[in-house]
Amino acid sequence: MTALLGARTATPLAGPLLYARSRAVPRALVVLLASAGLAVWAAHGLDAYVDPSRRVPVVALTPLFTSAVIGTSLYTASDELDRTAVRPWWRLRAVHLLTLSALTAGLLSLAVLGHPSVFGPPAMVRNTLGTTGLTAAAAALLGARLSWLPAFAYVSAVYVGAASAHGRLVTVWAWPMQPDGGAGAWAAAAAFVVGGGLYVVRGARP
């Protein structure tokens, strides 16, 4: 009874904060910040002014790892209990995913400022959205703890295969390796909308 009264008098933020803690979001934020710092260090150590394509490992691999961070933060240890709640979860899920994605895209873009025409912030934002979308879809279909696997398999395969690929559709299916702009951005945006939407509607598979 005391606990119930206490809950009633809590601040309006108590719900979202509890939600964030239950998903280990604070720890995910720390890892995202550390990843962004590492990306800044790596991007500046690669001497991109000599050859802008030297940034490709940073632009491809950092969003891949941050998407894994976001994906695993979608895990809940109390899935069955959550599903019995009266309140709809989709708002919290959407805020969770959008906030972390936007924050990550912004932070990682700092790593590749300069040389705006190739592998700059637009490419980083595109890859962050695309990989996060794939990871969110995997969280809904495979489970949050294994959500990093499909994105990792796809991006790493494209990383090796796309270097020598030709054809009209290469800018679409090889979007993680494309310079700024182009059709790849649309493919990544579609991945984010579809994957994110799937997660927001269905939640992560236990």
Report the interface residues with another protein, using CB under 8 A: 24, 31, 57, 61, 64-65, 68-69, 72, 75, 145-146, 148-150, 152-154, 156-166, 174
How far apart CA 53 and CA 14 sit, in angstroms, is 46
- Rounded least distance, CB 154 to another protein, Å: 7
CB 135 within 8 A of CB 195: yes
Nearer to another protein, 17 or 77 (CB): 77
- Rounded least distance, CB 146 to another protein, Å: 7
- Give the C-alpha distances (Å, rounded to integers) separating 61 from 16, 36, 77, 85, 145: 31, 12, 28, 38, 19
- Rounded least distance, CB 31 to another protein, Å: 7
How far apart CA 156 and CA 54 sit, in angstroms, is 16
Q: How far is CA 76 from the centre of its chain?
A: 17
How far apart CA 92 and CA 89 sit, in angstroms, is 5
How far apart CA 19 and CA 13 sit, in angstroms, is 10
Q: In sequence order, which ranges of 9-147 are alpha helices (DSSP H)?
A: 14-22, 25-45, 56-73, 79-83, 90-111, 121-141
Nearer to another protein, 145 or 197 (CB): 145
CB 133 within 8 A of CB 105: no
Nearer to another protein, 153 or 201 (CB): 153
- Rounded least distance, CB 42 to another protein, Å: 8
- Rounded least distance, CB 197 to another protein, Å: 23
Nearer to another protein, 60 or 105 (CB): 60
Nearer to another protein, 99 or 156 (CB): 156
Q: Which of 55, 182, 62, 169 is nearest to 114 (CA)?
A: 55
Nearer to another protein, 16 or 143 (CB): 143
- Rounded least distance, CB 73 to another protein, Å: 9
